[in-house]
Amino acid sequence: MEQLLQLFILLPFLGLLITLVLPHKNERAISGVVIATVVAHLLGLVGFVANWLLNQSPTLDIKHFTIFEQDDIAIFIDFYFDKTTAVFGIIGSAIAVIVAFFSRTYMHREAGFKRYFVAFLFFFSGYNIVVFAGNFETLFAGWELVGITSFLLIAFYRDRDLPVRNAMKVVSIYRLGDVALILAMWMSHHLWHENITFFQLNDTAAVLDHLTEHQWYGVFIAGMVVLAATIKSAQFPFSSWLPRAMEGPTTSSAIFYGSLSVHLGVFLLLRTYPYWESIGFVKALICFIGLFTCVVATLIARVQPTVKTQIAYASVAQIGLMFIEVALGWHVLALVHFAGNAFLRTYQLLISPSVLSYRIHDMLFSFRPGPAEEHGTFLRS
């Protein structure tokens, strides 16, 4: 079964390569290939998970080819599958299907139709690499791809000044998180004297052993991982990039900042949980960040003038709660919470232009004059 895992990475890449060679005027072919890819991915993944559940859900881990090996350094690609992967994978594919169908009509006749779908598939590939990653190196490769494609889609309207400027801001903050992740990898190698895989982290006794010997290394690594997660999930004090990320077309905002990309911080914490669960200070830190973000983001969302940023901040507040859930060890709850938040924010962002319709246009048909209606302030209702 492990051998099948690589297919879920290769399929989006295959779709990407095919899309790259299609002529950019042929909208039907491009959108057809993209939709076929994501639908096939979703169906395949659902089938795989069904099979996996029937086999009593073993945790799968497979090491693919090694890129570099010397002494005790070995950089290799490793894939991993457990319930976190299953949930993140299926929801990622489902949302990708929804957004692909939406974008096919929405992006019609837009200059950059092909560019959009190429970036979309590129993002989807990167997301799958992160979700299926079995070690830090593979995760980092996917993490980078997600960051780069975020930049490409925020700066989709590259003729204008503001999207490009905001995209640079976003990618600069992302880089901070990437550096934190690299430092975590480096220090982790120092700690274990080998390149650890997430499967090996499941062995709690060994982890505890190592950490009690080298306490400060452990705290440093955990701190770096928390930093990377905080930046990716727009928790405080790194939330400033999220409103700036709404520069792209509505569909890209939906898929990135509503649902998939912004929850990768939670995913990172879930993945590295066996590692820092014994360090009380780190758990307290995560809880604090989550709680603080939740309160402040809710307050900020209440005073937002635009609808998309309001949804974005509300999403961040929920992710703050997810951070607390992960730190306290309630992982199933965190996964359910992720599923709910991802679908809700995707939906809300995709229909965010309708807010004018709901709040103003439809008022014409449902207006009932009150007993003493002097000024007819319909906004009161």
Q: How many residues bind other proteins (CB under 8 A)?
A: 47
Among 50, 55, 70, 305, binds other proteins (CB under 8 A): 305
Asked if 52 and 172 count as a contact pair (C-beta separation under 8 A), the reply is no
Among 19, 135, 150, 166, binds other proteins (CB under 8 A): 166
Name the one range near other proteins by CB under 8 A: 2-10, 190-198, 222-230, 356-364.
356-364
The span from the CA of 125 to the CA of 113, in Å, is: 19
C-beta atoms surrounding 92 within 10 Å: 27
**Sites for other proteins among residues 250-279 (CB under 8 A):** 250-251, 253
Q: What angle do CA 315, 318, 320 make, to 5 degrees?
A: 115
Among 248, 265, 290, 320, binds other proteins (CB under 8 A): 248
Q: Return the number of the residue (95 or 131) whose C-beta is nearest other proteins.
A: 95
Q: Could you write out the DSSP letters of every residue in 218-250?
A: HHHHHHHHHHHHHHHTT-TTSTTHHHHGGGS-H
Distances 167 to 44, 233, 272, 311 between C-alpha atoms, Å: 34, 16, 29, 19
Among 329, 353, 370, 378, binds other proteins (CB under 8 A): 353
Q: Return the number of the residue (3 or 306) whose C-beta is nearest other proteins.
A: 306
Among 89, 163, 265, 320, binds other proteins (CB under 8 A): 163
Question: Encoding tokens for residue 151?
Answer: 């930049």
Asked if 196 and 136 count as a contact pair (C-beta separation under 8 A), the reply is yes
**Sites for other proteins among residues 87-126 (CB under 8 A):** 101-111, 113
199 binds other proteins (CB under 8 A): no
25 binds other proteins (CB under 8 A): yes
Among 87, 246, 269, 289, binds other proteins (CB under 8 A): 246
The span from the CA of 319 to the CA of 97, in Å, is: 23
Residues 6+ apart with CB under 8 A from 58: 52
C-beta atoms surrounding 337 within 10 Å: 19
345 binds other proteins (CB under 8 A): no
- Give me the residues that bind other proteins (CB under 8 A), please: 25, 27, 101-111, 113, 156-157, 160, 162-163, 166, 243-244, 246-251, 253, 305-309, 350-357, 359-361, 364, 379
